[in-house]
Chains A and B, each alone.
Chain A
Amino acid sequence: MQRVDLFPTHEYKGLKLRTGRPYPFGATVMGNAVNFSVYSRYATACTLVLFHNHEPEPFVEIPFLKEFKMGNVFSMMVFDLDFENIEYGYRMDGPWNPEEGHRFDKTKILMDPYAKLIAGRDVWGAQPDWDNVYQYRARVVCDDFDWEDDLPLETPVNELVIYEMHVRNFTCGANANVKHPGTFAGIAEKIPYLKELGVNCVELMPIHEFDEFENSKPSPVDGHMLYNVWGYSNVGFFAPKAAYASTGRFGMQVDELKNLIKQLHANGIEVILDVVFNHTAEGNENGPYISYRGIDNKTYYMLTPDGYYFNFSGCGNTLNCNNPNVRDMIVESLRYWVTDYHVDGFRFDLAAILGRDQNGCPMPNPPLLESLAHDPILGKTKLIAEAWDAGGLYQVGAFPSWGRWAEWNGKYRDSIRRFLKGDEHVLGDVKERIAGSADLYASQNRGIKASVNFITAHDGFTLMDLVSYNGKHNEANGEDNRDGEDNNNSWNCGWEGECEDAGINYLRHKQIKNAISLLMVSQGIPMILSGDEMGNTQYGNNNAYCQDNEIGWIDWTNLQKNEDIYNYFRKIIRFRQAHKALRFEYHFGHCDYRNLGYPDFSWHSVKAWRPDTGYNNLTAAFMLNGRYAETDGVPDDFIYVAMNMHWDMHGFELPQLPEGMAWHVFANTEMAAPDDICEPGEECMIENQQEILVGPRSIMILVGK
Chain B
Amino acid sequence: MSAEVHKVGSVLDASSSKEEQQVILSILDENKSVILDLSECKYVSSAGLRVMLYAYKVAASNGLNVYLVGVSKEVREVMAITGFEHFFKYFDTVEECQTQIG
Contact indicator per residue, chain B 54-89, by CB within 8 Å of chain A (1) or not (0): 000100000000000000000000100111100100
Q: With A144-B50, A146-B53, A255-B83 as given contacts, are A84 and B14 in contact (CB-CB < 8 Å)?
A: yes
Contact B83–A262 (Cβ < 8 Å): yes
Chain A interface residue bracket vs B: 20 to 34
Q: With A82-B14, A82-B15 as given contacts, are A250 and B83 in contact (CB-CB < 8 Å)?
A: no
Q: Does A530 contact B (CB under 8 A)?
A: no
Q: Does A270 contact B (CB under 8 A)?
A: no
In the assembled complex, the Cα of A262 lies from the Cα of B81 at a distance in Å of 11
Give the chain A neighbours of B81 by CB distance below 8 A: 180, 184-185, 188, 246-247, 252, 256, 259
Contact A256–B82 (Cβ < 8 Å): yes
Give the chain A neighbours of B49 by CB distance below 8 A: 255
Q: With A84-B46, A251-B46 as given contacts, are A258 and B78 in contact (CB-CB < 8 Å)?
A: no
- What's the least CB distance linking A578 to chain B, in Å? 33
Q: Does A339 contact B (CB under 8 A)?
A: no
Give the chain B neighbours of A184 by CB distance below 8 A: 81
Q: Does A85 contact B (CB under 8 A)?
A: yes
Contact indicator per residue, chain A 84-95, by CB within 8 Å of chain B (1) or not (0): 110000000000
In order of increasing CB-CB distance, the 4 nearest A-B pairs are A259-B83, A84-B14, A255-B82, A185-B81
Q: Does B5 contact A (CB under 8 A)?
A: no
Give the chain A neighbours of B57 by CB distance below 8 A: 146
Contact B46–A145 (Cβ < 8 Å): no
Give the chain A neighbours of B4 by CB distance below 8 A: none
Contact A259–B47 (Cβ < 8 Å): no
Interface centre among B45, B49, B87 (most CB of A within 10 A): B45
Contact B14–A146 (Cβ < 8 Å): no
Q: Does A661 contact B (CB under 8 A)?
A: no
- What's the least CB distance linking B74 to chain A, in Å? 10
Give the chain B neighbours of A188 by CB distance below 8 A: 81
Contact indicator per residue, chain B 86-98, by CB within 8 Å of chain A (1) or not (0): 0100000000000
In the assembled complex, the Cα of A259 lies from the Cα of B83 at a distance in Å of 5
In the assembled complex, the Cα of A85 lies from the Cα of B14 at a distance in Å of 8
- What's the least CB distance linking B48 to chain A, in Å? 9
Contact indicator per residue, chain A 249-274, by CB within 8 Å of chain B (1) or not (0): 01110111011001100000000000
Interface size on B, residues (CB 8 A): 16
In the assembled complex, the Cα of A616 lies from the Cα of B64 at a distance in Å of 76
In the assembled complex, the Cα of A256 lies from the Cα of B81 at a distance in Å of 6
Q: Does A83 contact B (CB under 8 A)?
A: yes
Q: Does A142 contact B (CB under 8 A)?
A: yes
Partner of A84, one of B47, B82, B84, B87: B47
In the assembled complex, the Cα of A184 lies from the Cα of B57 at a distance in Å of 26
Give the chain A neighbours of B84 by CB distance below 8 A: 255
Partner of B82, one of A82, A83, A144, A247: A247
In the assembled complex, the Cα of A146 lies from the Cα of B57 at a distance in Å of 10
Extra 16 A-B pairs, beta carbons < 8 Å, given A247-B81, A252-B81, A259-B83: A84-B15, A145-B83, A185-B81, A246-B81, A247-B78, A250-B45, A250-B46, A250-B78, A252-B78, A252-B82, A255-B46, A255-B82, A255-B83, A256-B81, A259-B81, A259-B82
- What's the least CB distance linking A449 to chain B, in Å? 32
Give the chain B neighbours of A180 by CB distance below 8 A: 81
In the assembled complex, the Cα of A532 lies from the Cα of B84 at a distance in Å of 34
In the assembled complex, the Cα of A254 lies from the Cα of B47 at a distance in Å of 12
User: Residue of A at shortest CB range from B85?
Assistant: A259
In the assembled complex, the Cα of A256 lies from the Cα of B47 at a distance in Å of 14
Give the chain B neighbours of A144 by CB distance below 8 A: 50
Give the chain A neighbours of B45 by CB distance below 8 A: 84, 250-251
- What's the least CB distance linking B61 to chain A, in Å? 13
Sample (26) of A-B pairs whose CB atoms are under 8 Å apart: A82-B15, A84-B13, A84-B47, A85-B15, A142-B46, A144-B50, A146-B53, A146-B57, A146-B87, A180-B81, A246-B81, A247-B78, A247-B81, A247-B82, A250-B45, A250-B46, A250-B78, A251-B46, A252-B78, A252-B81, A255-B49, A255-B82, A256-B81, A259-B81, A259-B82, A259-B83
Give the chain B neighbours of A83 by CB distance below 8 A: 14
User: Residue of B at shortest CB range from A32?
Assistant: B18
A483-507 residues at the B interface, CB under 8 angstroms = none
In the assembled complex, the Cα of A254 lies from the Cα of B50 at a distance in Å of 13
In the assembled complex, the Cα of A61 lies from the Cα of B28 at a distance in Å of 41
Give the chain A neighbours of B87 by CB distance below 8 A: 146
Give the chain B neighbours of A85 by CB distance below 8 A: 13-15
Give the chain B neighbours of A258 by CB distance below 8 A: 83
In the assembled complex, the Cα of A188 lies from the Cα of B77 at a distance in Å of 13
Give the chain B neighbours of A255 by CB distance below 8 A: 46, 49, 82-84
In the assembled complex, the Cα of A199 lies from the Cα of B49 at a distance in Å of 33
In the assembled complex, the Cα of A146 lies from the Cα of B87 at a distance in Å of 10
In the assembled complex, the Cα of A263 lies from the Cα of B80 at a distance in Å of 11
A649-684 residues at the B interface, CB under 8 angstroms = none
User: Residue of A at shortest CB range from B49?
Assistant: A255
In the assembled complex, the Cα of A256 lies from the Cα of B50 at a distance in Å of 14
In the assembled complex, the Cα of A674 lies from the Cα of B93 at a distance in Å of 54
- What's the least CB distance linking A187 to chain B, in Å? 11
In the assembled complex, the Cα of A180 lies from the Cα of B81 at a distance in Å of 10
User: Residue of A at shortest CB range from B43?
Assistant: A250
- What's the least CB distance linking A218 to chain B, in Å? 33
In the assembled complex, the Cα of A468 lies from the Cα of B31 at a distance in Å of 69
In the assembled complex, the Cα of A85 lies from the Cα of B47 at a distance in Å of 11
Contact A252–B46 (Cβ < 8 Å): yes
Give the chain B neighbours of A84 by CB distance below 8 A: 13-15, 45-47
Partner of B83, one of A82, A142, A146, A251: A146
A174-207 residues at the B interface, CB under 8 angstroms = 180, 184-185, 188
Contact A142–B47 (Cβ < 8 Å): yes
Contact indicator per residue, chain A 131-147, by CB within 8 Å of chain B (1) or not (0): 00000000000101110
In the assembled complex, the Cα of A252 lies from the Cα of B49 at a distance in Å of 10
Contact indicator per residue, chain A 232-253, by CB within 8 Å of chain B (1) or not (0): 0000000000000011001110
User: Residue of B at shortest CB range from A146?
Assistant: B53
Interface centre among B13, B49, B81 (most CB of A within 10 A): B81
In the assembled complex, the Cα of A255 lies from the Cα of B49 at a distance in Å of 11
Interface centre among A246, A254, A259 (most CB of B within 10 A): A259
Give the chain A neighbours of B13 by CB distance below 8 A: 84-85
In the assembled complex, the Cα of A185 lies from the Cα of B81 at a distance in Å of 6
Give the chain A neighbours of B82 by CB distance below 8 A: 247, 252, 255-256, 259
In the assembled complex, the Cα of A252 lies from the Cα of B44 at a distance in Å of 11
In the assembled complex, the Cα of A180 lies from the Cα of B47 at a distance in Å of 23
Give the chain B neighbours of A145 by CB distance below 8 A: 83
Partner of A142, one of B15, B50, B78: B50
In the assembled complex, the Cα of A259 lies from the Cα of B84 at a distance in Å of 9
Give the chain A neighbours of B50 by CB distance below 8 A: 142, 144
Give the chain B neighbours of A185 by CB distance below 8 A: 81
- What's the least CB distance linking B47 to chain A, in Å? 5
In the assembled complex, the Cα of A252 lies from the Cα of B15 at a distance in Å of 17
In the assembled complex, the Cα of A122 lies from the Cα of B16 at a distance in Å of 24
User: Residue of A at shortest CB range from B44?
Assistant: A250
In the assembled complex, the Cα of A185 lies from the Cα of B77 at a distance in Å of 10
In the assembled complex, the Cα of A83 lies from the Cα of B87 at a distance in Å of 25
Interface centre among A144, A184, A188, A252 (most CB of B within 10 A): A252
In the assembled complex, the Cα of A423 lies from the Cα of B59 at a distance in Å of 69
